[in-house]
Every structure is written in structure tokens, then in C-alpha cells.
Amino acid sequence: MLSIATCKFRFEVAPFELSGAVYGTLLNHRSALAALEGRLDKPPYNAPPRAPVLFVKPRNTLALCGDAVEVPAAAAELEVGACIGMVIGRTACNVSEASAYDHVAGFLIVNDVSIPHPDYYRPSVRYKARDGFCPIGPKVTARAAIAQPEALTLRTFVDGALVQTAGAGDLVRSMARLLADVTEFMTLAPGDVLAAGAAAPAPRVRAGQTVAVEGGVLGTLINPFVAAA
Amino acid sequence: MKRARVAFGGAIHEATPLDRAGVAAVRLADGRVLGEEEVVWLPPFEVGTVLALGLNYADHAKELAFKSQEEPLVFLKGPGTLLGHRGATRRPADVSFMHYECELAVVIGRRAKRVARAQAMQHVAGYCIANDYAVRDYLENWYRPNLRAKNRDGATVLGPWLVGADELANPGNLELRTFVNGALTQRGSTRDLIFDIPYLIEYLSSFMTLDSGDVILTGTPQGVQNVLPGDEIVCEIDGLGRLSNTIAADPVFGR
């Protein structure tokens, strides 16, 4: 089920290619949860989230480093959500937190692009599922090459200006805990990607600007944003 | 033509239906004829993106006390939730309300990008039955319906056949029926869809490119009911056959 955009994306560790399934997690960075302080137990939510708040980035959204992201005419700005993505190496079903990373082949940068939307209750898929709204890459860094995944940090630049710094150490559920909680009810297969969650506030970007997400050993994921044709 | 994907004798085969003296049978492409219980049924096509509709029948929306929507309520599912005909779906021991949802599944055959309603049906390869389970105990108000409620392993059953679009005269007027242990519990018609198939293709393809193998689960009518381990759930749709599934308890899955 790979898309044309990603079937040429290969990496040096098994399973060597993605499956095409990409899941994202919301409200899993402390800053993102803190931004909703005071609203969590009020309508329409009525209670803070219990399970991980997940969403699917379908195959049409996947794009690679360098690909242009189209800003639709109806949106003045888009939100960029720099996330660390775990690439599954071994089938992960009901894994424990302690053994979670045994199922991870490596890590990569995922940019969860969205049309800004007012709430988290039941947003339309058209905010997150547009073509090209999920750049990934520029490479997969093997799990073995990263001593401490919790120390990974992403820095987001818009036209060269640093707009956000977010570390995996500030996740509500660590990546290992997240993998355990997600695979309790949904098995992840080799090549699937689970993104751990972006920080808030989400940087905004307009057509004509370029976003670079720099992740140290993960490399830098660069995408120009352009007006829709 | 009706066709299925089945596993048998160490390989995956295309299979077609065969009535063998009144007993349901399948014929593999290589000529072998087998009873329907002799093969392992897989989803009947290579599944791409799974798009599912919430509250797309007025009666079911009313049943769940929702007001009708201006825009289709679409959610996405991943590949791990898919299951074929005659499979078993796990019901966790701690839940109080897990229900089936019999739905018409529309399979895309040709890439669709910004397709107008009038041309939409040209992009449909065919149809199958979907049973899209939900565990309501796990429903939360964050990105509804959340994946823990709607995207569980083995909780999206597709099949048994992919029926070609040319074989189904009017997908907009098909009766859907669900039977739990033989008793009719759900009945509706696709003529009561709030957003019909051409509209859904036009709507979705306005912001996302649909590709061959992508599938739209068009929603379920009223009549959802709690199911328990051991229950056999059969979803029927006119012209598409009957899709069977069994509910299994935690120990079956080593939980």
C-alpha cells in the first residue's frame, strides 16, 4: 500500500522500506497538553484523554525531503508538527515498555502538517489527510545508532529562523511507553511508523516559506511550502 | 464477477463462488473445488487506505442522539484492523458494549483526484460487505472516534467477495441485514445514506487522492447490539453475499 511518493524511500536496516502505514499521536508532548490546561474536563471533552490520542496519516499524505507541500487556497497558514517517528522493525503486539525498543528498527522525522482547526473533538479528516501533508525523512537512523532515544531533540526552522525546540524527554508517554500502550489494541507491522507527538504551540507557515526540521543524528527534513496550483 | 482471496495448501489464491449441490463452495483459479470452510478467507483485495463514515444513516444517527452533519464524518483506519470472512474478533474481558456495524464497502479501482460527482462512479472497482466493530467503552472525546474504539486488531471484517461494479445494478438501493446467532438484529437500505457514494467520492477526492485499493465504508443503519464471545455475526447485503464472523474471548488471544 505504499504511495508513489514513498516507494523509493529505502533505508539501511530491516525491513529496509516502509509499509505505508503512519500513525500520529496528539497531546503527547507536555507543552501540547499544557496548552489545554483548564479545558480537558470541560465540554466537548469532559475528561482528559486516557488512551493515546492517535490519528492516521494515509498514504496520499506521505512526502519526502525536498517535496513541496501545497498550501490550499482556503488556508492562510498551515501548522507544522515536528515529531519523532519510530519505524517498526519487528511485529509489535502487546509489547511491554521494557522490550518496546526491541521492535523498533530506527527513528526518523515526521512532519505532521495540518490546516489549523479549532478543536480536538471530531475534526474533519480534510485538516490532516491532504495530499503531501506528511513529509518524512530524510533517512531512517538505526535504533542501534541511538544510545538514548529519549535524548533526541527536534528543532524547527521557518526560513532559517528557529521557531520551536522539542525534546523526546518532554513526552507525556515516553516512546517506549507509547509503543506499549498502542500495541495493546493495535498490532504494528514492520515498516509501520508511529510518531510520538508534536509540541505546542504549532509553528505556522505560509506559502513561499521553507520548513526545516533538524534532529541531530536523524538529519534535517526540509520542505518548501507553496501555493496550491 | 465475484472473487475472493483465500489461503489454501500453502498459497494465496483467487477464488470464485460455486454452488455445489446447494452447499457453498469455491473454485480456485487452478481448478480445485473446495468447501467454504476448507479455505482461509482474506480481505478480497489488496487494501489501501480505509476510510469509514460515521453516522451516515439518519436512523442510526438518531439512535446515537446525534444531529445530522453538514460534512461527512470520515475517519481513517490502518491495515492491522483488517480481517477476512469467517475470522474471529477479540472482545476484551473488561468491556460492556461491543457492537457490529454492517456496511456497504466501496472499493476504488482507478485513481481519483478532484473528481466530480457525475464521473465519480467510473472510479469504483466494486463492492464488498464490511463489518466495522466498535468498542464503546473505549470511546473518548479526543479525535473521535478514537483508534482504541474503532481500529482494533481484527475489528474490520471485509468480504467475502469483491463484486465488480458492473455486476451491481444499483448500489444506492441495497438492503443490509445483520443476524446474531441467526436472529435478525439490524436492517436498513443504502437508499437511506445521508451522503451517497458519488458524493463521498467527490468530497474525499477534493482534498485527497484516492487510489486503487482504497475503500470507503459507507456507514451503518440502526440496529447495533452488544455481542459476546461465541456469538456468530452474519452481515448480508443484497447481491454481495453474507459475511460471517465470530466473537472470541481474551484467552483465545493469550490475554
pLDDT of B252 over the 90 cut? yes
pLDDT of B33 over the 70 cut? yes
For chain A, what is the domain count? Answer: 1
Disruptive mutation site among A39, A56, A115 for chain B (greatest number of B CBs within 10 Å): A56
CA distance linking residue B246 with residue B234, whole number of Å = 9
A210 part of a folded domain: no
Q: What string of DSSP letters covers chain A? A: ---TTTTT-B-SSTT-B--S-EEEEES-BHHHHHTTTTTTTSTTT-S---S-EEEEE-GGGEE-TTPPEEE-TT-S-EE--EEEEEEE-S-BSS--TTTGGGGEEEEEEEE--B---S-SSS--GGGT-STT-EEEEEEEEEGGG-S-GGG-EEEEEETTEEEEEEEGGGBSS-HHHHHHHHHTTS-B-TT-EEE----SSPPEE-TT-EEEEE-GGG-EEEEEEEE--
**Cβ <8 Å between A55 and B213:** no
Decide if A123 touches B, using CB distance below 8 A: yes
Beta-carbon count within 10 A of A74 CB: 8
**Cβ <8 Å between A19 and B153:** no
Query: The domain spanning residue A38 has which CATH number?
Result: 3.90.850.10
Percentage of chain A exceeding pLDDT 90 = 95
A74 part of a folded domain: no
A163 part of a folded domain: no
Q: How confident is the model at residue A127 (pLDDT cuts 50, 70, 90)?
A: very high
Cis preceding linkage at A49, omega within 30: no
Looking at the DSSP assignment, which residues form a beta bridge with residue A220?
A214
Decide if B143 touches A, using CB distance below 8 A: yes
User: Which chain A residues have a beta carbon less than 8 Å from that of B148?
Assistant: 51-52, 54, 185
A107 part of a folded domain: yes
A11 part of a folded domain: no
User: Which chain B residues have a beta carbon less than 8 Å from that of A55?
Assistant: 76, 143, 147
**Cβ <8 Å between B49 and A59:** yes
| pLDDT value, residue B199 | 97
Q: B240 vs chain A: nearest CA distance in angstroms?
A: 25
Task: For residue B83, give the C-alpha cell.
Answer: 480481517
Give the residue numbers spanning the domain of A110. 22-63+82-150+168-202
A121 part of a folded domain: yes
Disruptive mutation site among A7, A18, A22, A125 for chain B (greatest number of B CBs within 10 Å): A125
Phi, psi for B252 (deg, rounded to 5): -60, -30
**Cβ <8 Å between B78 and A192:** yes
| pLDDT value, residue B196 | 96
Amino acid identity at A97: E
- Closest by CA to A107, choosing from A136, A79, A127, is A136
pLDDT of A2 over the 80 cut? no
| pLDDT value, residue A3 | 63
**Cβ <8 Å between A125 and B75:** yes
Segment A13-26 mean pLDDT: 96
Over residues B117-170, the pLDDT tens digits come to 999 999 999 999 999 999 999 999 999 999 999 999 999 999 999 999 999 989
User: Which chain A residues have a beta carbon less than 8 Å from that of B153?
Assistant: 93, 185-187
**Cβ <8 Å between B143 and A186:** no
User: Which CATH fold would you assign to the domain B43-253?
Assistant: Fumarylacetoacetate hydrolase; domain 2 (3.90.850)
| CATH no., domain B1-42 | 2.30.30
Over residues B43-72, the pLDDT tens digits come to 999 999 999 999 899 876 666 656 556 899
Pick from A93-102, A111-120, A201-210, B15-24: least confident: B15-24
Decide if A101 touches B, using CB distance below 8 A: no
A116 part of a folded domain: yes
Q: What is the model's pTM?
A: 0.96
